[in-house]
Structure 1
Amino acid sequence: MTGGRCGGAGGAIDRPECWGSVAPGTPDAYSGADVAGYRATELRDSRSFLKSTQVIQAVVAFRDPPAAQAQLAALLSGWRRCGGLTVTLTPPNGEALPFAVGAPADAPNGITTLDLAPRGLQIRSARAVAAKANVIVDVLVSCSGTTDGDQPRVAGVGIASYVLGKLPG
């Protein structure tokens, strides 16, 4: 495979330009002198073996609002380029997994969403990203045991809206 490697996301991808579409908040997607701070967390609810939820949320602070808007525009440009494609991820020591990447869609509060669906698995994921002031909020919600993309999309928009509401500006 002629794929790229991403230190923040781990593993390899057959379309390196699509890392920013499938992996939330990777430090590789937010590099440069304009980044003032970065924080990401992962939460899992795996009480049920057949139905679990995973949330990865990141916030990236930039030196000023124009820098955040420029980074958001670059990220969304990548989402538009990769929307409609199948992207294959190969985790470290893992089996290759093709993902169908949806088209970006507008949501309330200036949030943009992107659906992701691994082929052949009952897992649906959604990205939600937005900027406010000098901060980008980047969220991924994955739900297993379902083929319905609404649940992770609605949750991602809700989380992003909540975080945006906590930011001044």
Structure 2
Amino acid sequence: MAQRRWWIVGGASALAAVVVIALVATNGGEDSDTVSEQPSTTAAQVPAAPITTVPSDPAAPEVPGAPAPAPSGPTLGVDALAGLLLSAEQVGQRLDTPGMSAMDVESNLLDGTITPPECASAWGPAYAATYNGSGFTGLAVQGVFLEPSAKVAQAVVAFPDPGAAKSFFDKQSAAWSGCKSTHVTFSYAGNSTGVDVGVPAMTGDIMTLKLVPTTSSVAGQQCERDMTVRGNVIVDVRSCLPTVGSGGLSIVSDIAAKIR
């Protein structure tokens, strides 16, 4: 429970079976009492960019009234999810931050209260407020960190088929757009942390969003949210570091490349 609290609560260093919650919350949160040796995560900001769309294939013109083609791609089982996550060394390479450590891989959704609730997905990956009722079939989520500022929450979530995963992704795209330029607060176990949400954009088929922590003790801390869909899997990541840049985008790209 401590590890998860560390993810959730901004700045708290707590150790628990639920690792990811604490990392995400720590990414952009205020300091709280230390409950364990595990560090916490923080949120990152990258210049906001306008939403872009990927051009359609000119070889496949739309036919008025024709049904959209069904999403395609591999359908992975839940037992394959943990193997998709990057190692601590690989995450450190993407963030140019060697020496990062990985927490245990968890298979449960993360808890916590996000305000406004419709911005739960924009706040961080693998939260119950986002995935409950979505029809997902399983997940793997893990925290990777280097104190005091490098915090990553990486998650992969499986759905019954590519169509269900794409439908979920489209809903989150709309949710992120609805939360642009909004202040989001996260509360867990009596602690709270906040971030200012930027403007979502598409880089290829990866949705990105920059978050600016408003309660972080790390000067210049920024967080980047990234999400994409491959086959029946949602790749869901939050990376925090004062120089995060597009590190989160690289992590999502590398995880997605494993899904085939």
TM-score normalised to the size of structure 2?
0.54
1:166 paired residue number = 258
Query: 1:99 and 2:195 equivalent?
Result: yes
Which deviations, in whole Å up to 9, do the C-alpha atoms of 1:41-77 show, x marking residues without a partner? Answer: 111112xx4xx21110110111111100000011111
* Identical counterparts, % of pairs: 30
Q: Distance in 1 between matches of 2:215 and 2:146?
A: 22
2:142 corresponds to 1:45? no
Gaps of 5+ in 1: 1-5
Which letter maps to 2:239? V
Give the C-alpha shift of residue 153 in structure 1. Answer: 4.4
Q: 2:121 aligns with which of 10, 13, 20?
A: 20
Instruction: Assess, with a 3 A threshold, how the Cα gap between structure 1 residues 107 and 63 changes in structure 2: closer, same or farther.
Output: same
Contact 1:127-1:153 within 8 A present in 2 as well: no
1:4-83 pair list within 5 angstroms: 8-32=109-133, 34-46=135-147, 49=148, 52-83=149-180
The answer to whether the Cα contact below 8 Å between 2:158 and 2:232 also exists between their aligned partners in 1 is yes
Q: 1:3 corresponds to which residue?
A: none
Q: Which residue of 2 aligns with 1:130?
A: 228
Once the 2 structures are TM-superposed, how far is the Cα of residue 12 of structure 1 from its aligned partner? 2.9
Paired residues, number: 151
Give CA-to-partner distance per residue, 1:107-149, whole Å, 9 cap, x none.
13x1010111112643210100000111100000011xx3xxx
| Alpha-carbon shift at residue 90 of structure 1 (Å) | 2.9
Structure with higher RCO (Cα < 8 A, 6+ apart): 2
**RMSD of the alignment, in Å?**
2.1
Residues 141 and 153 of structure 1 are in contact (CA less than 8 Å); yes or no, is this contact kept in structure 2? no
Find the residue that maps to 1:32 and give its secondary structure.
Answer: coil
Sort the Cα spacing of 1:67 and 1:153 in 2 relative to 1 into closer, same or farther, 3 A.
farther
1:65 aligned partner, one-letter code: P
